[in-house]
């Protein structure tokens, strides 16, 4: 299936109970990406401390990859955490995807420091 879209065509929302992307996801910190009503991606973040968050999962449907949606979701996740006071984010598990988006190795972890404007 070929899907034609840009990330701006996709809405990012709190999931309905039947849209939870994986078992045990925290509904307060999970968001789903929808295109024409269908869930095509999701992320979950977790607060570790007052100013520290972790991206515990970020997924894009196989048939929707390569169009920038992962970066769009990551930006949304960072913005959500930042709006709640985040100044540091960690990506788990570490991957080249996060490094391409500004996360850097620090003490064996992939981290991103957020600077308030």
- What pLDDT does residue 46 have? 98
pLDDT category, 108, cuts 50, 70, 90? confident
* Domains contained in the chain, CATH given: 7-113 (3.40.630.30)
- What pLDDT does residue 116 have? 74
Q: Using DSSP, state whether 61 is helix, strand or coil.
A: coil
Q: What is the pTM of this model?
A: 0.93
pLDDT category, 4, cuts 50, 70, 90? confident
Cα angle 45, 48, 60; round to 5: 15
């Amino acid at each position: 299936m070929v899907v034609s879209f840009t990330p701006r065509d996709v809405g990012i929302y709190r999931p309905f109970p039947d849209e939870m992307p994986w078992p045990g996801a925290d509904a307060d910190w999970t968001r789903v990406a929808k295109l024409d009503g269908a869930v095509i991606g999701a992320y979950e973040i977790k607060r570790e401390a007052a100013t520290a968050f972790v991206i515990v999962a970020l997924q894009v449907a196989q048939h929707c990859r390569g169009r920038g949606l992962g970066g769009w979701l990551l930006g949304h996740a960072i913005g959500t955490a930042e709006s709640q006071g985040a100044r540091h984010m960690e990506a788990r598990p570490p991957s080249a995807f996060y490094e391409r988006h500004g996360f850097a190795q620090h003490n064996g972890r992939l981290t991103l420091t957020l600077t308030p404007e």
